[in-house]
Chains A and B, each alone.
Chain A
Amino acid sequence: MTQGKVRVLVAKPGLDSHDRGAKVIARAYRDAGMEVVYTGLHQSPEEIVEAAVQEDVDVVALSILSGAHLALVAKVVGLLRGRQVDDVLLLVGGIIPDEDVEPLKAAGAAGAFGPGSNLDEIVAFTLANIRRRGA
């Protein structure tokens, strides 16, 4: 079973400044009993991966409303692999058109959540898919 609390990094990559969704999901995770680290705005993929390693998180949740999700997810996945991190659950939320969901999964995101997504379902999906801590 789980050892300790689930740790989540909520991150805002790129110049995109729309942080409402990131903050709402961060609270939803916290209310569900997880430990949440929020990076704040304007983080580079390198900074996000560094934070994920330093904070030893189980989940990295990227919030992207700039349309740059495909490139940014690929970059974060590449950097995680470069650090031999292969058991972190990577999720992405934001303005994600339907046709980009499959490409995002192919790139290494476990789930992609577009506008109108349900908070409880995102939390449940996260808990059901965590790969670390013997879950």
Chain B
Amino acid sequence: MASTQSDSSVLRIPSGGNLVASTVEERRKAAMDALEAPCTQAVLDLTDAEVVDSLGITLILGLFKTCQKRKVAFSVEGANADLMRVFKLFSLPKLFPIREK
């Protein structure tokens, strides 16, 4: 997944806090809107997220899937240790790069 870091084509999607049941719908819409802009790479920034629940993971996977469909490279950044652990145990890093905070 070596992607060129050309600023123009990188879309950063901030998590805007936790990705949990109460926020996912709002974040989903925001992400969909963000993805309207053309880009070659999308980065989900979890720096603000303490907790990601099942729905949050579903959302991340949905995001990944959409990116995949649109041939946009997808990655996640700023995951805290707990989130990293969950991602690793679910083998998500095999699907897309995930960088720890």
Query: Do A and B share a complex?
Result: no
List the interface of chain A (C-beta within 8 A of B).
none
Chain B positions near chain A (C-beta within 8 angstroms) = none
